[in-house]
């Protein structure tokens, strides 16, 4: 048995017995780890809030032989997710956690994916009282919608599955026109010739493709450009269909996230 220290993001937490919890962590050093935190939900737990959902923490993991859950021995809080006045940011945080849980496997370290996820979680967390106005405006539903899409594209980039946004996914011809065919299973944009006979092809606006191009940048930076006047409702529908096709199911939190972003869609009509 060996104990390892890791930086971690809490993706899932469910009760185990009276006061313990089974926690799923995405760690920077060791990839996804599922383990038992004994007494985590006691009122005065030694873990405090470090193993709460969406917390970023330093954790000491005791790896056990296969068939046994790993044990979390110690955890120190680095960043606590603060739920603000906008439901959309909280929904987005949980959506990103579920997405990361769905696209990762145990013990496969992907530090860039970890950095991308923790960067998004920090931005979605409400600012502390006294923080500047610009940080507060980051909580607006349109910022949240754009940040989620930026993060999703970053996840696809890390998995080597970023859809083709500039050229036809099949023949590499540049994409152009007011409406562009987008193959959910074919890897992105398709020219009129290559789209023939393909399944799961949707027609998307040039504005949507252009916004996706802008959002598919600067994955390694905390500062990125949110495109102005992006058709966020259309983009949300594209990303939901893309991940549903990739995973074979819809993420449980996707409906809630869409609901929290609905006022935004109506405003854009």
Contact between 196 and Zn ion by CB under 5 A: the answer reads: no
Name which of residues 164 to 183 contact Zn ion (CB under 5 A).
168, 170-171, 173
Contact between 191 and Zn ion by CB under 5 A: the answer reads: yes
> Residue count at the site for Zn ion (CB under 5 A)?
6
Mutual orientation of helices 252-260 and 87-103 as an angle, nearest 10°?
160
37/194 with CB nearer Zn ion = 194
Q: Distance of alpha carbon 183 from its chain centroid, rounded?
A: 22
Using CB atoms within 10 A of its CB, is residue 164 exposed (0-12), middle (13-18) or buried (19+)? middle
* Nearest-angstrom CA–CA distance, 207 and 204: 8
Contact between 83 and Zn ion by CB under 5 A: the answer reads: no
130/174 with CB nearer Zn ion = 174
117/194 with CB nearer Zn ion = 194
What's the min distance (Å) between Cβ of 173 and Zn ion? 5
Q: Which stretch binds Zn ion (CB under 5 A): 35-43, 60-68, 121-129, 186-194?
A: 186-194
121/168 with CB nearer Zn ion = 168
Contact between 33 and Zn ion by CB under 5 A: the answer reads: no
* Nearest-angstrom CA–CA distance, 187 and 167: 11
Residue 49 sits at φ, ψ, to 5 deg, of -95, 5
Count CA within 13 A, CB hemisphere, residue 156. Answer: 25
| DSSP type of residue 7 | E
Q: In the complex, which residues of this chain contact Zn ion (CB under 5 A)?
A: 168, 170-171, 173, 191, 194
């Amino acid at each position: 048995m060996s104990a390892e220290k890791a930086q971690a993001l809490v993706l899932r937490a469910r009760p185990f017995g009276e006061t313990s919890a089974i926690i799923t962590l995405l760690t920077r050093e060791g990839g996804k780890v599922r383990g038992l935190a004994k007494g985590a939900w006691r009122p005065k737990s030694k873990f405090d809030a470090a193993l709460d959902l969406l917390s970023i923490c330093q954790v000491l993991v005791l790896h056990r032989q296969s068939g046994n859950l790993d044990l979390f021995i110690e955890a120190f809080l680095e960043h606590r997710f603060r739920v603000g006045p906008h439901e959309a940011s909280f929904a987005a945080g949980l959506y990103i956690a579920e997405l990361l849980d769905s696209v990762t496997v145990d013990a496969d370290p992907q530090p860039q994916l970890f950095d991308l996820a923790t960067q998004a979680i920090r931005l979605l967390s409400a600012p502390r009282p006294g923080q500047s106005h610009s940080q507060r405006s980051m909580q607006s539903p349109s910022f949240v919608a754009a940040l989620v899409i930026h993060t999703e594209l970053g996840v696809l980039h890390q998995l080597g599955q970023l859809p083709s946004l500039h050229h036809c996914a099949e023949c590499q011809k540049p994409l152009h026109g007011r409406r562009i065919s987008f193959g959910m299973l074919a890897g992105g944009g398709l020219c009129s010739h290559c789209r023939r006979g393909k399944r799961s092809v949707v027609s998307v606006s040039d504005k949507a493709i252009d916004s996706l191009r802008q959002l598919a940048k600067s994955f390694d930076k905390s500062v990125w450009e949110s495109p102005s006047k992006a058709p966020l409702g259309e983009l949300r529908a594209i990303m939901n269909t893309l991940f549903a096709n990739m995973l074979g199911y819809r993420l449980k939190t996707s409906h809630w996230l869409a609901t929290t972003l609905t006022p935004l869609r109506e405003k854009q009509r």
